[in-house]
Amino acid sequence: MIAQPQRQAGSVSVVEVSLGDRSYPILVGRGVAAEAGSRVAALGVRAVGLVTDETVGPLHGGAVEASLSAAGLRVVRATVPAGEGSKRFDRLDALCETLLAGRLERGDAVLALGGGVVGDLAGFAAAILLRGIRFVQVPTTLLAQVDSSVGGKTGINARAGKNLVGAFHQPALVLADTALLDTLSPREMRAGYAETVKYGLIGDPDFYAWCEAQWRDVLAGGAARDRAVVESCRAKAAVVARDEREDGDRALLNLGHTFGHALERAVGYDGARLVHGEGVAIGMAQAFRFSARLGLCPPEDALRVERHLATVGLPTRPAQVPGGIGTAGTLMDAMAQDKKVRAGRLTFILAHGIGRSVVVRDVSPDDLRTFLEDDLRT
């Protein structure tokens, strides 16, 4: 089945993710987080594990908790440290113990209020708690609204690499309140924009051209921002409905991520040096440069992508990461642990051009090493 087109409900757009009896809506619009209580209560739950972090909690936690309580739901609140460092086993263990101590039952739900880290961690806890309870996403970053809150990927990092321990666990509901993005820093907005423009680069050249023309308004807020979130969710919902567990073309959503995840591992997941969206931006520029070197992609398309990301204020070269990121060998070791490796063979999402991304299996290690060595010098 394919995702249904979004429908309008007042000022709120609704995108359906069609997965049979596990289908769910994504509500996009200013103020939809205020509906958290009534929407979650409609799922038939009696208690909610509200998971947030030390940054988002003081900003938005009180209002969401009040909405849940007003709907007659018992709230068990759990707060984790902000940042990628929370995606690890000890934090998962502590979170599960907190939720269990709050007497959550199998018919209850976990609600993630935060960015991608909170969503990944809370979603994984929901997937394994009591062998699986319902999960609601209230993403508070642009990156989470356009990407990580949709599609059911949950997990934590391991020493070997990013997101290597986890589960597919679809949410029952996503509330993408674009008003919550008003509190983000410019850096976080730009990082989220990288995941937004990705959808144009994968398969929609018209959306990419729209992003080139409207990116300032997307970052500033208003109708352009809402449209960017809706279009991104629509694109991802369609792919997830076709390929829920990444057995086929869902892998295209990882454009830039094999390179980007390797960069994140190289800096030790230090968000002060590199946040996820910045790693994706560099990774997408690298994917297009590598594609051009292999003769897959016109060089002018690779240059167009790099120039646009740089104009937005995103990094496009590994040398722009503060403190350096090591050698080509360091990055290749990280890539060897990538989830898309099959039978020891490297798999990359490359491109024939803007809007024409492809899965390329069995990339030559020699070609990759030579490219990385050259790319690290520029």
198 given a catalytic annotation = no
Catalytic choice (87, 153, 225, 234): 153
Residue count of the chain: 378
Find the catalytic residue in 250, 265, 289, 308: 250
Per annotation, catalytic residue among 198, 276, 289, 308? 276
304 assigned to active site: no
Q: Which of 39, 134, 225, 236 is catalytic?
A: 236
Is 188 among the catalytic positions?
Answer: no
Is residue 356 flagged as an active site residue?
Answer: no
246 is catalytic: yes
Lookup result for tokens 């991104």: 232
> Given 87, 261, 308, 339, which residue is catalytic?
261
Q: Does the annotation count 261 as an active-site position?
A: yes
Q: Going by C-beta distance under 8 Å and a sequence separation of 6 or more, which residues neighbour residue 148?
A: 115, 116, 119, 120, 139
**Is 16 designated active site?**
no
User: Residues 195, 61: contact at Cβ < 8 Å?
Assistant: no
Which of these is catalytic: 190, 254, 265, 289?
A: 254
- The three-class DSSP label of residue 163 is strand
Element (H, E) at 350: strand 347-351
**Distance from C-alpha of 157 to C-alpha of 32, rounded to nearest angstrom:** 31
Between CA 137 and CA 235 the distance in angstroms is 18
Which CA distances in Å does 15 have to 3, 12, 67, 219, 278?
8, 10, 23, 22, 27
* CA 96/CA 157 separation, integer angstroms: 17
Q: In this structure, are residues 13 and 6 in contact, taking their beta carbons and an 8 Å threshold?
A: yes
Question: Which member of 35, 195, 231, 278 is catalytic?
Answer: 195
CB 68 within 8 A of CB 62: no
Q: Round to whole Å and give the CA distance between 200 and 185.
A: 24
Q: State the catalytic residue, choosing from 65, 84, 188, 246.
A: 246
Based on the residue annotation, tell me whether 74 is a catalytic residue of this protein. Answer: no
Active-site residue 293, yes or no?
no
Closest alpha carbon to 315 in 217, 193, 230: 193
Active-site residue identified among 169, 225, 257, 308: 257
254 is an active site residue: yes
Active site residues: 131, 153, 195, 236, 246, 250, 254, 257, 261, 276
